[in-house]
Structure 1
């Protein structure tokens, strides 16, 4: 959604759009984490998770989040360096 060149987007609308984009990105990350960790850790579905499945899911989720955080920080530092650190 972009405004015509002669129209300004209100700061409140810009904030709302940024918040909605952040929510969508978080939902996408959770869905991807769930897909990857489920495929990696789950065996035959049963009535409860085994201790191995629980430990695997916990470890997988932690590594996924650590990696995602590392990549985000890496690109943020690259963007900052590219923009002169401002």
Structure 2
């Protein structure tokens, strides 16, 4: 394909801008995903483990929160991996 003079020299610049925007979107999605994880852990584990809010957590509340966070993050990671795998399979199927 022939481009008008000067236009072809801008294509690498446009591609780098496009890549920069895509990288920024990925980073923002990752940040939003992490914030969602933290918010859900706070919401779910607090309501499950903290029955009588006070100035500090007792040892059973600390243990409950730690275990709850571990299980929630495990489940989140399993779901995330399954979702990514599915998206990759579907995108490969579309490109065939």
Structure possessing the higher relative contact order (Cα contacts under 8 Å, 6 or more residues apart): 2
1:3-14 aligned within 5 A: 10-14=18-22
1:3-42 aligned within 5 A: 10-42=18-50
Following TM superposition, by how much is the alpha carbon of 1:77 offset from its aligned partner in structure 2, in angstroms? 2.1
Are residues 1:43 and 2:43 paired?
no
CA distance in 1: counterparts of 2:22 and 2:88, whole angstroms: 22
Q: Calculate the TM-score normalised by the size of structure 1.
A: 0.79
Stretches of structure 2 lacking an aligned partner (at least 5 in a row): 1-13
Q: Which has the larger radius of gyration?
A: 2
Decide which structure has greater helix share: 2
Deviations 1:14-43 (A, max 9, x none): 211210121011111110110000000002
CA distance in 1: counterparts of 2:20 and 2:86, whole angstroms: 29
Q: Calculate the TM-score normalised by the size of structure 2.
A: 0.72
Identify the residue that residue 75 of structure 2 maps to in structure 1. 67
Distance 1:38 1:22, change over 3 A: same
